Amino acid sequence: MVSREAVNCEQVWREISNYVDGEVDSGLRAAMDEHFQACKRCTSVLAGIRNVIQLYGDERMIEAPAGFGRRLEKRLAQNVREASGWWPSWSAWLIPVAALALIVGGLQLAKSPTAKSPTAEAPLKSPQAQPGHNIPPDLVVLVVEGTKVFHVAGCALIHDKDKVQSLTAKEALEKGYTPCVRCMRKYLETASAGRARFGDETHVDADADGEDPRAGGGQ
Amino acid sequence: MAEPNVVLNNPEQGNATREQDLIARVQCGQNELFYELVKPYERRVYAAALAILHNETDAEDVAQEAMLKAFVNLRQFRAEARFSTWLIQITVNEALMRRRRERTVVMEGIDDRRDEETDYAPRDFADWREIPSESLERKEVRQKLAVALASLDRKYREVFVLRDVEQLNIQETAEVLGISVASVKTRLLRARLMLRDLLAGGWEQGWFSRLPFEKGSKPW
């Protein structure tokens, strides 16, 4: 077997990290092995590097501040609740009731001389656009490329899941996105009670399997 | 009734199966299980954020933000990736964004991205003995190691933490940090050699133990 040319200490130091990681070719490895047998200094360097890797790779070296896990769990719990709490399963029977109430209320409001058009409010980009109220600014929300509505995770009205981006609610509002009438309902209820576009609301309510209200808006 | 004919002798395999199960459940809407899914990695996520930001308060905040991002993006997670690597990737991205926003880069020197062109020569060549891992039981030792790591320049610290603490491979480390594989190797070499020298000095001061090393021998 043809052995590779011998390597000196400087060459060994340059490659010693790759040697430990198995990132040197077999010829260089053999030459370095040969060098280590004869050189106490390089053997010391090799052993020291292995010590460094072993010590820092130990689980016990990864420490977080006291209470870190508890604080993380709390923050996750808050946001996870926001994301999942919008549609409690026990209230599914309320869907048709709420839809009916909204239809009736909408008809009555439409007749009212004091009813205002939502377009009288600040300009909004979505046909479903309504201003959000009391939405926690750091609530993580999702937007889908090409749309103007933001959602919480799990909303059935998110269709193109490959084009989803996450933002905070504050960022989404600043960029002109508006809250989804379905998953952001609880933030819209109070504010929109007197001027909501009941036709759209009714459509969403009646369509519990997640049809996009925009798709049905013109029908 | 007989037990299911599934025997998981390998604890890691068992953990991986459990992790896949948790991921699938959260993806299907059992959001309350998310913390259980990420809990094994919470300290790793914090350590990655700290390596980038060098500030405990920011690191904790970014670690939390990263976990929230992971939660909302979990549906996009693909099983062929390692979940831990995916989490670390999100964390590093968040931390890098935070750092860019706060312009701390300026504080650490404008030459930070350039790799050193001169080789680093080790300084200490004493005989070596293995440091027993029991020494890590001592808080004092862990603190000394943490201080040595914190003293490295940012570019070396980042690569070292991702590779040797977080156990990403070289390719993953390069991808996560957005640098070349060659840069990862160069920085890793220097980080390891520098830490070795820093800790060799510590050995002189008896950090690692009252262990019965032979006369004249050191672990470095």
> Which positions in chain B touch A41 (Cβ < 8 Å)?
122, 125
> Which positions in chain A touch B160 (Cβ < 8 Å)?
56
- Separation between Cα atoms, residue B41 and residue B166, nearest integer Å: 10
Q: Check if CATH label 1.10.10.10 holds for domain B11-106.
A: no
Tokens linked to A209: 């399997």
Q: Are residues A55 and A108 in the same domain?
A: no
Asked if the Cβ–Cβ distance from B31 to A84 is below 8 Å, we say yes
How far is B2 from chain A, CA to nearest CA, in Å? 36
Q: What's at B65, amino acid-wise? A: E
Q: Are residues A123 and A200 in the same domain?
A: yes
Give the least confident one: A106-110, B144-148, B155-159: A106-110
- Residue A85: inside a domain: no
Asked if the Cβ–Cβ distance from A44 to B127 is below 8 Å, we say yes
- Residue A4: inside a domain: no
B174-190 pLDDT tens trace: 999 999 999 999 999 99
The beta-carbon neighbor of A80 closest among B32, B42, B122 is B32
SS3 state of residue A168: strand
- Separation between Cα atoms, residue B124 and residue B75, nearest integer Å: 50
- CA A201, A207, A212 angle in degrees (round to 5)? 75
Asked if the Cβ–Cβ distance from A76 to B29 is below 8 Å, we say no
Domain, as residue range, for A160? 94-216
> Which positions in chain B touch A140 (Cβ < 8 Å)?
68-69, 71-72
* A166 DSSP β-pair partners: A142
- CATH annotation of B133-204: 1.10.10.10
B15-74 pLDDT tens trace: 778 898 999 888 888 888 999 999 999 999 999 999 999 899 999 999 999 999 999 999
- Separation between Cα atoms, residue B154 and residue B92, nearest integer Å: 13
Burial class (CB in 10 A: 0-12, 13-18, 19+), A31: buried
Q: Are residues A120 and A162 in the same domain?
A: yes
Give the least confident one: A81-90, B77-86, B121-130: A81-90
Q: Does residue A10 belong to the interface with chain B, where contact is any CB pair within 8 Å? A: yes
How far is B137 from chain A, CA to nearest CA, in Å? 8
Q: Are residues A49 and A110 in the same domain?
A: no
Q: Are residues A135 and A200 in the same domain?
A: yes
> According to CATH, where is 1.10.10.10 located in chain B?
133-204
The beta-carbon neighbor of B142 closest among A53, A63, A77 is A63
Best to test chain A binding among B12, B31, B134, B183 (most A CBs inside 10 Å)? B31
The beta-carbon neighbor of B219 closest among A13, A51, A76 is A51
Number of domains comprising chain A: 2
- Residue A78: inside a domain: no
Q: At what angle do helices A40-56 and A26-38 cross, to 10 degrees?
A: 110
Asked if the Cβ–Cβ distance from A161 to B189 is below 8 Å, we say no
Q: What are phi and psi of A166, to 5 degrees?
A: -105, 145
- Please tell me whether the overall predicted TM-score, pTM, comes out greater than 0.80 for this model: no
- Residue A75: inside a domain: no
Which of A42, A61, A80 is the C-terminal boundary of a domain? A61
Tokens linked to B188: 């890793």
**DSSP-assigned states of every residue in B183-212:** HHHHHHHHHHHHHHHHHHHHHHTT-S-S--
Q: Are residues A134 and A201 in the same domain?
A: yes
Sheet containing A140-144, strands listed edge to edge, beginning at the edge strand earlier in sequence = A164-168, A140-144, A149-151, A178-179
Q: pLDDT digit of tens for each residue in chain A (219 aa)? A: 445 678 999 999 999 999 999 999 999 999 999 999 999 999 989 999 999 999 999 988 888 999 999 999 999 988 876 665 433 433 444 455 556 666 666 666 555 554 444 444 444 444 444 556 678 887 878 888 778 888 877 776 777 767 777 788 888 888 888 888 777 776 665 444 444 333 333 333 333 343 333 333 333
Tokens linked to B106: 């300026």
